[in-house]
Chains A and B, each alone.
Chain A
Amino acid sequence: MLSGMKVKVLCRNPDDYVRETTRDIQRVPRNYDPTIHPFEVSREYTRALNATKLERIFAKPFVASLDGHRDGINCLAKHAKTLSVVLSGACDGEVKIWNLSKRECMRTIQAHEGFVRGICSRFCGSSFFTVGDDKTVKQWNMEPPGRGLQEEPLNTILGKAVYTGIDHHQTEGTFATCGQTVDIWDEQRSSPIRSFSWGVDSFSCVRYNPVETELLASCASDRSIILYDMRESAPLKKIIMQLRSNTLCWNPMEAYNFTCSNEDYNLYTYDMRRLDVPVTVHMDHVSAVLDVDYSPTGKEFVSASFDKTIRIFPKNSGHSREVYHTKRMQHVICVKWSADNKYILSGSDEMNIRLWKANASEKLGLLTPREKAALNYNQKLRDKFQHHPQVRRIARHRHLPRDLFKQKRELREMKEARRRK
């Protein structure tokens, strides 16, 4: 009877499933059959929920504070070539050069009497320019002077009126200042090669277009934004807004777009080719917006406001994705997005420059491959389930100081009321 019977019974050799020595890694045989992995959607959802919560837990954006200035910081500039170098100008005419990786001040220059109004680095990174309340434009060497020598500017240009802003050309030795007029200067000359004005008494900001390098935009005190071509003698275009714009910034990737920070608590993104209507209005601040800077990818920008917060906006979204604030940070005057797209710098009234992460929950430093894989997986999960109400609620939640929260509610009520009428 036994002869014809065929039988096979499951019998596993434990050697195939257990590691040989404790120095080995564990053996993990897989079987992707869906029937032995039930509830895959709900488990994935749970994972996504956990990932979102973890992201909020790890959201600690504040990295460091650079202190040393003896007055409020009025302007910031990035070094054109080096990631770790940042220049700052204060209200007492002092300019400091910072090393971000060491988080220390490398050099201090008493550059002006009164405010340092504007600061910018030359495209080659060898020198930088400052303008101040003392009606001068000064060019400084990026290298410190030799031991025992005094800090002396390379050049000093004495102007007729106060300058309020400066920006350097991307590739050539020309720069633009603004004050009573927008002036274009040659580095070699002591008088402007061109002066633009369009019936305005003063300008607050001038910026070169990063792609069409001969193009300029400026914010004027008569609530207008004016575009210029450096090669022509007259300005190009003008828009007049409801309230004054403080600064503007060109999108470095889509250089026909620029965003301006306005006194009416909003930021406006305009398409240079169609100035009659803004592309997007970015709302969320509860006080005047003082400065704006784009990320080098052109996907997001950061704005600094009088309401003591910094907000990060996606370039085409009407509301911010992130808000940074601390108890000690006062009105934020200037803000910059670092060239490696990882950090944000903010200079504020209470004499501190703060370094923030651009992505609040990012882990700094070297990641192991497993860590990296886990982060990527979590990111994908968050993307996949982002529209589920629970996930969205957690991802969007931000703690705000009570004043800010109340102001925000008040503003919303006002807006509602206006709409109802």
Chain B
Amino acid sequence: MAAPGGEAQTTAHVGKRRKRPRRYWEQTSKKYNSGGKSSDGAKQKAKKRRGDRRKKRKGGLSGEVESEDPKLCEQTQETGKKDNSGEKSSDGPKQKAKRRRVDRRKKRKGNLTVKVVSEDTSKKDNDGEKSVDGTKDTADENATKRSDAKFISGKVDPFPGEAPIPEERLRKFQRGNKFVVPEEIRSKLKDTLAKSQEAADLAQTQAARYDLLLTEDAGFLEGDEGEDTCTISQDDIAEAVDITSGSKYFNLRLTQFGPYRLDYSRTGRHLLLAGRRGHVTCIEWQTKNLMCEMNVMETVKDIKWLHSEAMFAVAQKKWLYIYDSNGTELHCIKKFNDVLRMQFLPYHFLLATASATGFLQYLDVSVGKEVAAINTKLGRLDVMAQNPYNAVIHLGHPNGTVSLWSPNQKEPLVKMLCHRGGVRSLTVDRTGTYMVTSGLDRKLKVYDIRAFKPLNSYFLPAGASCLSLSQRGLLSASTGDIVQVYRDVWGSGPMTKPYMAHRVRGTVWGVGYCPFEDVLGVGHAEGFTSMIVPGAGEPNFDALDMNPYRSTKQRQEWEVKALLEKVQPELISLDPGLLGKVDKATFEQKHKERVETLGYDPLAVEKFKPRMRKRGRSAAGAVEKRKKKVAHEDQRDVIRKSVKERMEKEKEKKRKDSAKEQLGEKTALDRFKK
């Protein structure tokens, strides 16, 4: 940031700005140095005199700092320092621009920041002093003069207005399309619309500007030239990074009760491990603090945190159990039997379970009620994922289909055929745009689930058993005892090599990324491995949503707020923004309402009733014939009319063309013709 050779940072004002109140040092400097040379008029002299007189009255020395405000004192001293170091130099336009930018930023920020920046710049100036020699003695005078000169000179700000925001960043915060106000709308409504549009724009730009203030950057991993990142071992990475990060690569050897499934809490601080043979542990994994450990003495199929780290659900051999973080059994829910997989919808407080009997059930954990039980009739459900964007549950089936479910409908919202063999695993990214599936046909497929279209398809020699997507879109896939991480899965180019690869001790049973961390947890037959995957986690969390560093008090407060704005299960649908859209009544709806209010159908066409005729002319066949004559009469009318119109148009066109031909080329003299 520091510009070597930069000009002295005075408080000189570039561009147009309100006149700054005069400071004591300017006056004194004038008094001592400039004498009669100063360009200010009699008015200022008078002011000076007045000031002097006041000083005398106060009994202070004329050269001393008079300001009573301590803050002002500080500032003035600093600026004084700056002025001392200041000198004239021939700096390039680039540096000038930079200085101006700093100036402008100062202007935008409050007092406090001004101080900090000015300190910075004074340091910078000292650097500059070394490189460029200057005349130090007249520095004071110069500074004051320059500031005045720049103020008076008509130089314009080369960067007028507010700093521009990149289009791309603006687009990130765009919600819906801009509303174009139709011309014929009444004035009051027009005002309202314009105002709301203005507010939306302001919110968008402010949010986009806030991006500058985000503190953390995402992680990354780059190999040497010609070196693949996938060949870099975890040990090397752990050695290369700092100790804290290095300690995030660790193995837990748990050979007795494996294979293990795992779940990270939403803050990313807590980890749940569940061995198939009944071992359940709950760890604060960064501090390696064991919260509870037990053996439930039953087969454990799956494990999931509920809304906070105080409770978790365990799908055991027969029923679903809920424990608290000390390992105390809170509930045994016998309505939920033979559960194989679970998903927790955090904003709805719903625990969705998929069972071996083909039932998809929803449990509202805030009130403890079963919200919906859907018999999918699709056999054993052991592949399950949730779409974090719209809370729709995705189920994978042995016949290669993936079905999408909401608790409000007994039928699947969507059923799509994804694989030729059974679906082994699937996952959905957090924007709700992409779904990645792997099947027994050893293929890995990427779908756009807004358009329900396949995007990419990859062939993996051994197929992938467990899939997981990180917050920043890294895909982990496990084949046997190898975990591979892929980058840019839905990018345009073909994905050839994994981003990272790691071999664990046993067959992989469950994988999961830790939120807000560059860590991938792998549960396998021989225990648990936590591996470092640079660039996996979201670097900047929102503390009002999920705060990894929250205190107990903050958690409690968050819990109350979250419960208050619990989204009702009725609102789960493919489009989560449906509630904010205008519900335009269809023509049929409007027509139906009209019929109801009027009591008759105004658009109904009277049905043709053939007249009764005698002598066999009203026999069934004859009547049908007569009916046929008038059938589609109204349609025929419309067609006749349109044909007629078209003919007329053509005629008109022909007439015009011929008229043009007759006139021939237009000349300037045509205007005088009669």
Contacts and interface: CB of A to CB of B under 8 A. Distances in A.
A143 interface: no
B534 A36 contact: no
B538 interface: yes
Nearest to B348: A39
A22 to B, nearest CB: 10
B144 to A, nearest CB: 41
A6 B241 CA distance: 10
B134 interface: no
Nearest to A18: B549
Interface stretch (B54-62, B104-112, B231-239, B414-422): B231-239
Contact of B564 (A3, A4, A38, A50): A50
Interface stretch (B257-265, B369-377, B574-582, B632-640): B574-582
A30 B220 CA distance: 23
Interface in A13-40: 14, 16-18, 26-40
A4 B224 contact: yes
A10 B223 contact: no
A173 to B, nearest CB: 42
A39 B578 CA distance: 10
A36 B542 contact: yes
Contacts, number: 153
Nearest to B225: A4
Between A10, A17, A31, the greatest number of chain B beta carbons within 10 A of the residue's beta carbon is seen for A10
B565 A10 contact: no
Contacts of B431: 35
Contact of A10 (B207, B390, B517, B549): B517
B534 A26 contact: no
Between A1, A9, A11, the greatest number of chain B beta carbons within 10 A of the residue's beta carbon is seen for A9
Nearest to B576: A39
A361 interface: no
A238 interface: no
Contact of B232 (A5, A11, A38): A5
B407 to A, nearest CB: 14
B207 A32 contact: yes
Interface stretch (B210-218, B295-303, B436-444, B659-667): B210-218
Nearest to A16: B215
B221 A7 contact: yes
Contact of B551 (A8, A26, A29): A26
Nearest to A47: B565
Interface string B541-558: 111111111010010000
B99 interface: no
Nearest to A27: B543
A41 B578 CA distance: 8
A50 B564 CA distance: 8
A46 B221 contact: no
Contact of A38 (B388, B551, B568, B571): B388
B223 A4 contact: yes
A317 B391 CA distance: 42
Contacts of A16: 215
B499 to A, nearest CB: 12
Interface in B563-589: 564-568, 571, 576-580
Nearest to A50: B564
A9 B390 CA distance: 30
Between A27, A31, A388, the greatest number of chain B beta carbons within 10 A of the residue's beta carbon is seen for A31
Interface residues of B, number: 68
B454 to A, nearest CB: 23
A149 interface: no
B198 to A, nearest CB: 15
A194 B240 CA distance: 103
Contacts of B245: 9-11
A150 interface: no
A10 B534 CA distance: 7
Interface residues of A, number: 39
B657 interface: no
Given A26-B551, A26-B554, A30-B543, A46 B242 contact: no
A320 B420 CA distance: 65
B242 A5 contact: no
A364 interface: no
B564 A8 contact: no
Contacts of B577: 40-41
B222 interface: yes
Given A10-B516, A39-B347, A39-B391, A31 B541 contact: yes
A43 B217 CA distance: 29
Given A26-B551, A38-B389, A39-B576, A32 B210 contact: yes
A2 B518 CA distance: 20
Contacts of A50: 564-565
A12 interface: yes
Given A10-B219, A10-B517, A31-B541, A1 B236 contact: yes
A333 to B, nearest CB: 38
A28 B215 CA distance: 12
Contact of B219 (A4, A8, A31, A46): A8
Contacts of B173: 32, 34
Interface in A83-139: none
A296 B439 CA distance: 72
B227 interface: yes
Given A2-B236, A5-B240, A10-B218, A33 B518 contact: no
Contacts of B542: 29-33, 36-37
B532 A9 contact: yes
A10 B518 contact: yes
B216 A12 contact: yes
Contact of B545 (A8, A12, A27, A37): A37
Contacts of B568: 42, 46
A29 B540 contact: yes
A62 interface: no
Given A31-B214, A42-B579, A7 B220 contact: yes
B430 interface: yes
A40 B430 CA distance: 14
B172 interface: yes
Nearest to A43: B565
B172 A34 contact: yes
Contacts of B388: 38
Contacts of A30: 210, 542-544
Nearest to B578: A41
A45 interface: yes
Contacts of A41: 576-580
B39 interface: no
A42 B576 CA distance: 7
A43 B567 contact: yes
A8 B579 contact: no
B560 to A, nearest CB: 12
A6 B576 contact: no
Nearest to B174: A34
Nearest to B389: A38
A148 B544 CA distance: 68
Interface string B233-255: 00011011110110010000000
Between A1, A17, A39, A388, the greatest number of chain B beta carbons within 10 A of the residue's beta carbon is seen for A39
A45 B241 CA distance: 45
A3 to B, nearest CB: 7
B609 interface: no
Contact of B224 (A5, A10, A14): A5
B224 A29 contact: no
Between A32, A37, A388, the greatest number of chain B beta carbons within 10 A of the residue's beta carbon is seen for A32
13 contacts: A1-B236, A10-B216, A28-B547, A29-B543, A32-B173, A34-B175, A36-B541, A36-B545, A37-B542, A42-B567, A43-B567, A45-B579, A388-B579
Interface of A: 1-12, 14, 16-18, 26-43, 45-47, 50, 388
Given A7-B221, A29-B542, A38-B430, 11 more contacts: A1-B236, A6-B221, A11-B244, A18-B549, A29-B541, A30-B542, A31-B538, A36-B541, A39-B571, A41-B578, A42-B347
- 6 closest Cβ pairs, A-B complex: A4-B224, A17-B549, A41-B580, A6-B222, A32-B207, A9-B245
